[in-house]
């Protein structure tokens, strides 16, 4: 049954691949602005007709993100003075800072527990808005990079404000609206009720919570954000009530990251290049999903063997297999929503979720972020292949020279540095070590997972780790900010330098980048790079735990 679940997801994604990919292509390449957008641009005071060089594009993006962080921070700090606060106090400063960064960077790491910290207004006006716009920012960067490949002799790579507004209003908003209603039909709540008491059958009191959950839940998955309205995220019956809403949420997670490969193919004028990138993502994703299922169903560890199944931290309606599929999907993308608790997974099942993030979340990755991450890996691959045969590497007609490969390499190095240095620092001081819930290799895995998740902007956790301390809020906040914006700057710089080039005509010596050979090469380069970087760390954590 678990296999049918995976297969049906693949079929559904295949069905929407073409229409959605083509639609996104029209959105980002169209020259007309609709009435709502024209009003928006006037309110923003930006010239929608003028394109930006990569530097201006990056500065607009950073300005928008900084103001967003500030805005989300302030709203949390004054929530008690606004409406719908449910009587909650202002969010403590270090948690508010961490949360603001977390939502603006599309990480949605949660150092707080939603149902007892955030009022309804904070959830919808501060957090859910960032679910939309941080996703739109990621897509904008990906599209800017694709323009770099597609354009010739161009100084500009698009207009950030236009890409931001179109991504939010034309792509995310309509899908979110329909999706939210589908979720409500499944039982996800959508109201403005605060906690109220009811009497249980045995005469105890239960505080029933409410909130505008569906409207936030849908964009949490669609925008690969992952920040739950409630603490237990997509395991909570009000966020994910049935086995089919679970299917639908996984579908939403994978929807845009997959379909955008077609948008890419169309924009560079060769659909087959998009299929090749999709194939790389597909090979890695399917292998990872299958392995996670196999490890969880086998249940090889002492407690799952004693129990008879890896049911700790999983709900009955989802079961082991569908929980494992969700876990793989949420870490293969930058989502980080969870419907089961990875901390209690079998050693190798838990390792898969870690490994998925360590891949850089490129298969298929976060909205936008997955595509630009994968294109960077493709650039590195043509460079490696070029070295083998002694030719100047090129990709999609653009020469990968010294500047390009430097930018790609720096992009790739950012997250490993943050993950490994961050983990090492945490393991080396009291405040870092105090966060562990579990002992031994598993405790190490909790810390490693936290830094991997923050630096890759995933947001899921080995949840036993106690991270609502000032030390962790600052450390992980730094990882999130650097892990998001340094790579984005490198990508935009790369886009700028590619756009300026005159394409070189294909010759007999050009490496074809749409054939299975190239797909295999990219998969190989990805796995080798990641394995070389992280295997020692994994050996100390999940591998040591699994092979005791």
Partner 1 sequence: MNRLPSWIKQHLAALRAVLVLTAVLGVIYPLVTTGVAQALFNGKANGSLGETGASSLIGQSFSDADGNPVAKYFQSRPSAASYDMLATAASNLGPEDVIDTPDRASLLTQVCTRSAAIGQLEGVSGARPYCTPDGVGAVLKVFPTRAVSVNQACPAQPFVTTYEGVPVECGKPGEDYAAGRTVPIRGGATAVVPPDAVTASASGLDPHISAAYAALQAPRVARERGLPVERVNTLIEQYTTGRSLGFMGEPAVNVLELNTALDKG
For the CB of residue 382, give the shortest distance to partner 1 in the complex, in Å: 35
Residue 260 to residue 278: CA distance in whole angstroms: 9
In the bound state with partner 1, the residue whose beta carbon lies nearer, of 476 and 522, is 476
In the bound state with partner 1, the residue whose beta carbon lies nearer, of 105 and 513, is 105
In the bound state with partner 1, the residue whose beta carbon lies nearer, of 315 and 404, is 315
For the CB of residue 400, give the shortest distance to partner 1 in the complex, in Å: 31
**Binder among 232, 334, 457, 526 for partner 1 (CB under 8 A):** 232
- Select the span of 151-159, 303-311, 357-365, 494-502 touching partner 1 (CB under 8 A): 303-311
- Select the span of 14-22, 111-119, 480-488, 506-514 touching partner 1 (CB under 8 A): 111-119
Q: What Å distances lie between residue 419 and 162, 413, 423, 451, CA to CA?
A: 34, 10, 6, 5
Judged by CB under 8 A, does residue 180 bind partner 1? yes
Taking residue 508's Cβ as centre, other Cβ atoms within 10 Å add up to 4
Taking residue 61's Cβ as centre, other Cβ atoms within 10 Å add up to 23
Judged by CB under 8 A, does residue 210 bind partner 1? yes
- Select the span of 310-318, 359-367, 483-491, 522-530 touching partner 1 (CB under 8 A): 310-318
Structure tokens at 224: 């690969």
- Rule CB under 8 A: which of 38-57 touch partner 1? 40, 43-46
Residue 278 to residue 503: CA distance in whole angstroms: 24
Binding mask 384-413 for partner 1 (x = CB under 8 A): ------------------------------
In the bound state with partner 1, the residue whose beta carbon lies nearer, of 97 and 295, is 295
For the CB of residue 13, give the shortest distance to partner 1 in the complex, in Å: 16
Max CA separation in the chain (angstroms): 80
For the CB of residue 136, give the shortest distance to partner 1 in the complex, in Å: 9
Contact 456, 109 (CB under 8 A): no
Q: What Å distances lie between residue 435 and 73, 224, 313, 430, 431, CA to CA?
A: 24, 27, 20, 9, 7
Binding residues for partner 1, total number by CB under 8 A: 120
Q: Name residues whose C-beta falls within 8 Å of residue 194's C-beta, 6 or more positions apart in sequence.
A: 84, 86, 87, 120, 209, 210
In the bound state with partner 1, the residue whose beta carbon lies nearer, of 133 and 418, is 133
- Select the span of 175-183, 414-422, 427-435, 531-539 touching partner 1 (CB under 8 A): 175-183
For the CB of residue 452, give the shortest distance to partner 1 in the complex, in Å: 17
Q: Name residues whose C-beta falls within 8 Å of residue 177's C-beta, 6 or more positions apart in sequence.
A: none
- Select the span of 183-191, 277-285, 380-388, 502-510 touching partner 1 (CB under 8 A): 183-191
- Rule CB under 8 A: which of 454-483 touch partner 1? 462-464
Judged by CB under 8 A, does residue 291 bind partner 1? no
- Rule CB under 8 A: which of 118-137 touch partner 1? 124-126, 128-129, 132-133
- Select the span of 190-198, 273-281, 483-491, 524-532 touching partner 1 (CB under 8 A): 190-198
β-bridge mates for residue 196, sequence order: 208
Contact 455, 476 (CB under 8 A): no
Contact 256, 222 (CB under 8 A): yes
In the bound state with partner 1, the residue whose beta carbon lies nearer, of 71 and 275, is 71
In the bound state with partner 1, the residue whose beta carbon lies nearer, of 191 and 502, is 191
- Select the span of 14-22, 149-157, 399-407, 436-444 touching partner 1 (CB under 8 A): 436-444
**Alpha helices for 428-515 (secondary structure H):** 430-433, 440-455, 470-500
Contact 256, 140 (CB under 8 A): no
**Binder among 284, 301, 375, 426 for partner 1 (CB under 8 A):** 301
The answer, yes or no, to whether the previous bond of 516 is cis (omega within 30 of 0) is no
Q: Give me the helix-helix angle, 369-389 and 128-150, nearest 10°.
A: 30
Judged by CB under 8 A, does residue 35 bind partner 1? no
- Select the span of 145-153, 433-441, 501-509, 522-530 touching partner 1 (CB under 8 A): 433-441
- Summary count for the chain: helices (H), strands (E): 22, 4
Phi, psi of 91 (to 5 degrees): -70, 135
- Select the span of 143-151, 199-207, 272-280, 485-493 touching partner 1 (CB under 8 A): 199-207
- Rule CB under 8 A: which of 495-534 touch partner 1? none
Contact 365, 141 (CB under 8 A): no
Q: What Å distances lie between residue 104 and 64, 97, 331, 486, CA to CA?
A: 10, 11, 19, 14
Residue 10 to residue 14: CA distance in whole angstroms: 6
β-bridge mates for residue 207, sequence order: 197
For the CB of residue 246, give the shortest distance to partner 1 in the complex, in Å: 7
**Binder among 28, 57, 97, 161 for partner 1 (CB under 8 A):** 161
Binding mask 247-266 for partner 1 (x = CB under 8 A): x-------------------
Judged by CB under 8 A, does residue 112 bind partner 1? no
Taking residue 53's Cβ as centre, other Cβ atoms within 10 Å add up to 16
Judged by CB under 8 A, does residue 434 bind partner 1? no
Q: What is the dihedral of CA 367, 372, 378, 383, to 10 degrees?
A: -160
């Amino acid at each position: 049954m678990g296999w049918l679940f995976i297969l049906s997801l693949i079929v559904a994604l295949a069905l929407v691949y073409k229409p959605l990919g083509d639609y996104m292509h029209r959105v980002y390449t169209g020259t007309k602005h609709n009435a709502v957008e024209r009003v928006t641009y006037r309110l923003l005071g930006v010239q929608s007709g003028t394109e930006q060089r990569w530097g201006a594009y990056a500065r607009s993006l950073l300005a928008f993100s900084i103001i967003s962080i500030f805005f989300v921070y302030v709203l949390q700090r004054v929530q008690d003075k606004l409406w719908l606060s449910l009587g909650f106090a202002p969010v403590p400063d270090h948690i508010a800072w961490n949360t603001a960064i977390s939502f603006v960077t599309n990480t949605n790491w949660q150092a707080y527990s939603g149902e007892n910290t955030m009022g309804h207004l904070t959830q919808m006006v501060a957090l859910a808005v960032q679910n939309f716009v941080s996703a739109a920012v990621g897509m904008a960067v990906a599209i800017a990079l694709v323009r770099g490949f597609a354009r010739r002799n161009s100084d500009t790579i698009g207009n950030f404000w236009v890409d931001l507004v179109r991504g939010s209003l034309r792509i995310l908003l309509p899908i979110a609206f329909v999706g939210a209603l589908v979720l409500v039909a499944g039982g996800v709540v959508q109201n403005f009720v605060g906690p109220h008491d009811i009497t249980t059958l045995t005469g105890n009191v239960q505080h029933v919570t409410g909130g505008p959950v569906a409207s936030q839940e849908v964009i949490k998955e669609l925008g690969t954000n992952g920040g739950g309205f409630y603490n237990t995220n997509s395991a909570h019956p009000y966020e994910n009530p049935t086995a089919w809403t679970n299917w639908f949420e996984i579908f939403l997670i994978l929807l845009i990251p997959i379909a955008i490969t077609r948008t890419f193919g169309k924009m560079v004028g060769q659909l087959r290049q998009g299929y090749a990138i999709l194939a790389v993502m597909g090979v890695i994703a399917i292998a990872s999903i299958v392995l996670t299922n196999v490890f969880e169903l086998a249940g090889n560890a002492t407690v799952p063997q004693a129990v008879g199944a890896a049911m700790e931290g999983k709900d009955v309606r989802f079961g082991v297999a569908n929980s494992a599929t969700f876990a793989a999907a949420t870490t293969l993308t930058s989502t980080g929503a969870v419907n089961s608790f990875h901390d209690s997974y079998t050693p190798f099942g838990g390792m898969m979720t870690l490994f998925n993030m360590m891949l850089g979340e490129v298969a298929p990755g976060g909205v936008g972020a997955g595509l630009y991450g994968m294109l960077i890996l493709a650039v590195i691959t043509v460079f490696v292949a070029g070295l083998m045969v002694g030719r100047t590497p090129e990709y999609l007609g653009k020469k990968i020279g010294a500047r390009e490969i430097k930018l790609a390499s720096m992009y790739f190095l950012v997250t490993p540095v943050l993950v490994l240095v961050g983990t090492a620092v945490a393991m080396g001081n009291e405040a870092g070590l105090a966060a562990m819930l579990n002992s031994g290799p598993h405790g190490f895995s909790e810390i490693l997972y936290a830094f991997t998740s923050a630096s890759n902007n995933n947001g899921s956790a080995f949840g036993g780790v106690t991270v609502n301390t000032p030390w962790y809020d600052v450390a992980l906040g730094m990882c999130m900010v650097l892990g998001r914006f340094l790579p984005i700057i490198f990508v935009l710089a790369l886009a700028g330098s590619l756009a300026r080039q005159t394409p070189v005509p294909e010759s007999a010596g050009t490496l074809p980048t749409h054939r299975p050979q190239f797909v295999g090469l990219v998969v190989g380069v990805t796995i080798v790079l990641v394995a070389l970087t992280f295997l020692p760390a994994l050996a100390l954590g999940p591998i040591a735990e699994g092979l005791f």
